[in-house]
Structure 1
């Protein structure tokens, strides 16, 4: 009997942490309102994807005297995986701290290549500029944030104004960007060398054309007019991310636009995004400084 009771108690012990996480997520959700699965590309568009051309908006429930700053979050996943639904905690955390957050999907490899992904993200940003006032956000204070491949897309959007002029915007609407362990800042160099095991897999999303690698690498588009960057990398991240991030830092510095650059000791690549579950994380602290300055 004692053995049976001990085994009956085990699920309860395992359930307790889960219940605490659920309770914490519920408590965090209460100050925010999520509007889910908004199409940012018209269904009549030939490129429309009913799953990938969607975004979620997380808005503070409290009405403010003036519109809130806006952060669009772009997920990572090696350009072939990832989903906005995995990152609802980021939307909740931002909304709780006085930010209207937009968390997006975009089409992935092998269905499309990176230029189309960048265009998707630009269209999501344009939708945000046109509609975010309806959710309490200020389109004049629009910032981007991303992790890994998503951070590489963030950097490209902030640096390459053509992504917006092609879609009819006279100016780039992005006021600043936070990169969390960014991948893809210089894919021209990366794919030219192919120096790490498994690198050839990235020829699928990036194609085998060196001119494309360069065209969708943010390093080759930043100028003295590029908006401010805040960059975080993990002290134990991949060498390719560490090296390209340093190169990006130096390029911006040479242009007179030095970014805020922080190495978080001991952090590997995946924990760099998982740490965003906690709202008092240093990444959020610096993001709030950026959007509220």
Structure 2
């Protein structure tokens, strides 16, 4: 039986990780507001964080990139995606596919426009997706949707303008669960998908067996039959395709995420003999870890870019 880290041990490992230029300190008012909000995920926390970053996103300049909106990638109503591509995209640029968070029951690709714009400005063709929601769509709708996205990327190079042989999957919170399930469960993977790396931001459900899952979010997607939880825990699927993985959390991430990320780091260490690529977003919370990207705060974005470009060189295998 595998031994997993306690939440305290998980925090100890993550505290030793490389920290990017933590420019949230250059906006002391924002840093204080995020600090005061703490590490609990409540409506108040979400609303207050979005109130900070909404006006900053509104100031984003989009020159130098092209957006191709609302491309259909599958049969469901929510199977649509947006492409953010550098104007000079010529088929050689790496591709990042990003799945938003939302507790498996909400969210929209429009809320991740900052992700698409930021990475396209830095030479990465970025595809931001919608996916089906629970409870109408349950496990394994997530990896099924990602598989359809991967097929679309493989077959539509003329639209997205990137290199289908250099694809990184990324997601935050619930979105991280969907991209991880595709990347690690071989039964959902398509042929010649070009996957070179996986970025998991604030992963909440690597191991479903060590806690009571949230009845208003996670249980609506994974169900309540505990006998299925080990099979649906992707921490138990790391020994198939050993794709390079980056794990990112925020300093004020929710305790469950801190524990889950720590367990995942330990499991990847046992698999690979070294730590995975790690990033701790100093001063940020479960929402701001992605909302700050593209606002001038360079806490997490550069680490993700470095990971993507390193994998595209073939160095991460």
Shorter-normalised TM range: 0.7 to 0.9
Which residue does 1:57 correspond to in 2? 83
Which residue does 2:203 correspond to in 1? 182
- Work out which of the residue numbers 125, 141, 146 in structure 2 matches 1:121: 146
Query: Which consecutive unaligned segments of at least 5 residues does structure 1 have?
Result: 1-16, 42-47
Q: Which structure has the bigger radius of gyration?
A: 1
- Work out which of the residue numbers 308, 311, 316 in structure 2 matches 1:291: 308
- Work out which of the residue numbers 124, 141, 149 in structure 2 matches 1:99: 124
CA distance in structure 2 between the aligned counterparts of 1:209 and 1:240, rounded to whole angstroms: 20
Secondary structure of the residue aligned to 2:101 is: coil
Q: Does 1:239 align with 2:285?
A: no
Q: Which has the higher contact order (CA 8 A, sep 6+)?
A: 2
Conserved? CA contact 1:72–1:101, under 8 Å: yes
Conserved? CA contact 1:223–1:252, under 8 Å: no
Normalising to structure 2: TM-score of the pair?
0.74
Which residue does 2:171 correspond to in 1? 146
- Work out which of the residue numbers 225, 231, 239 in structure 2 matches 1:223: 239
1:119 deviates by: 0.8
Which residue does 2:215 correspond to in 1? 200
After superposition, what is the alpha-carbon deviation per residue over 1:86-111, rounded to whole angstroms, capped at 9, x for unaligned? 11121111111101010000100111
1:174 deviates by: 1.7
CA distance in structure 2 between the aligned counterparts of 1:116 and 1:20, rounded to whole angstroms: 34
**Matching of residues 28-39 of structure 1 within 5 Å:** 29-39=62-72
1:83 deviates by: 0.6
Number of matched pairs: 256
CA distance in structure 2 between the aligned counterparts of 1:120 and 1:154, rounded to whole angstroms: 9
Secondary structure of the residue aligned to 2:283 is: coil
1:158 deviates by: 2.0
Query: Which consecutive unaligned segments of at least 5 residues does structure 2 have?
Result: 1-52, 311-317
Secondary structure of the residue aligned to 1:223 is: coil
Which residue does 2:111 correspond to in 1? 86
User: What value does the CA root-mean-square deviation take over the aligned residues?
Assistant: 2.3
CA distance in structure 1 between the aligned counterparts of 2:258 and 2:127, rounded to whole angstroms: 27
1:263 deviates by: 2.4
Secondary structure of the residue aligned to 2:103 is: coil
Conserved? CA contact 1:40–1:123, under 8 Å: yes
1:71 deviates by: 0.1
